[in-house]
Amino acid sequence: MKIRLLSAVALLGAMASHSVLATSACPSLPDYSVLHDALVKAQQSTDKNGGFGFNMWATIVNRDGIVCAVVMTGTNRGQEWPGSRVISAQKANTANAFSLPNFALSTANLYSAVQPGGSLFGLQESNPVDVNIAYRGSATLYGTINDPMIGGKIGGVNVFGGGLPLYGPAGGLVGAIGVSGDSSCADHNIAWRTRQALGYDHVPAGVSANHDDNIVYDISNGVSASGWGHPTCSKDATAIAEGFPKAGMK
């Protein structure tokens, strides 16, 4: 009984510390509730974002790569791909790590560049996930306000759609969001809609035709014309992304 009590106290202490870390390290970023509501709305779009309409995970990191929030759209963690929790964090870390205050790169933009012969070949091996952060704590807390990843530096590099840097209304780069749980193209569309709803899409410049960080579909016969292209997943997903206005505009 005493051991159980001590374990419960330790768990409550860890939960409190995660909340405190998120508040202190991420003051300028959306909190759990705001992120959750925006993600649910984006995921439930009637067009299914060109994907399967699956439940999603999303992670936000700050500019130092510290995890600020982890959310899921299902009512329990078994209703979405379990592996996508950490992938969402990888995507957030990647978009933050390889974007600048004056230039944004989404994870989708990196796909072609990291292929053999590409200008960034090997990038995906450069910053491994810290498994001690990714899988610490009780799985019962995954996707909750006290997800055990919160407050840790997750690391990781992911090079397909779903990760976007976050630029506040004043134009400052403050971190990134990563979304995972559907096709990579739908992940990008959901991330895009979520970021827009949060108001953190004031992208200064990027590699797309709109000079932002939108996904680029220009791969033909295995070669990207721009060097920043991403494979297509479905006609619907492509049409949705190509219909997005320039980031920061509605």
Domain ranges of the chain: 19-242
* pTM for the whole structure: 0.91
Q: What is the pLDDT of residue 17?
A: 54
Q: Which fold has domain 19-242?
A: Beta-Lactamase (3.30.450)
Say what percent of the chain tops pLDDT 90.
86
Burial class (CB in 10 A: 0-12, 13-18, 19+), 197: middle
pLDDT tens digits for range 181-208: 999 999 999 999 999 999 999 999 999 9
Residue 18 is predicted with a pLDDT of: 56
Taking 90 as the threshold, does the pLDDT of residue 137 lie above it? yes
Band of the pLDDT at 22, cuts 50, 70, 90? low
pLDDT tens-place string over residues 71-105: 999 999 999 999 999 999 999 999 999 999 999 99
Tokens matching residue 118: 């590409």
Give the CA distances from residue 207 to residues 65, 98, 141, 204, in Å, rounded to whole numbers and listed in that order. Answer: 23, 13, 38, 11
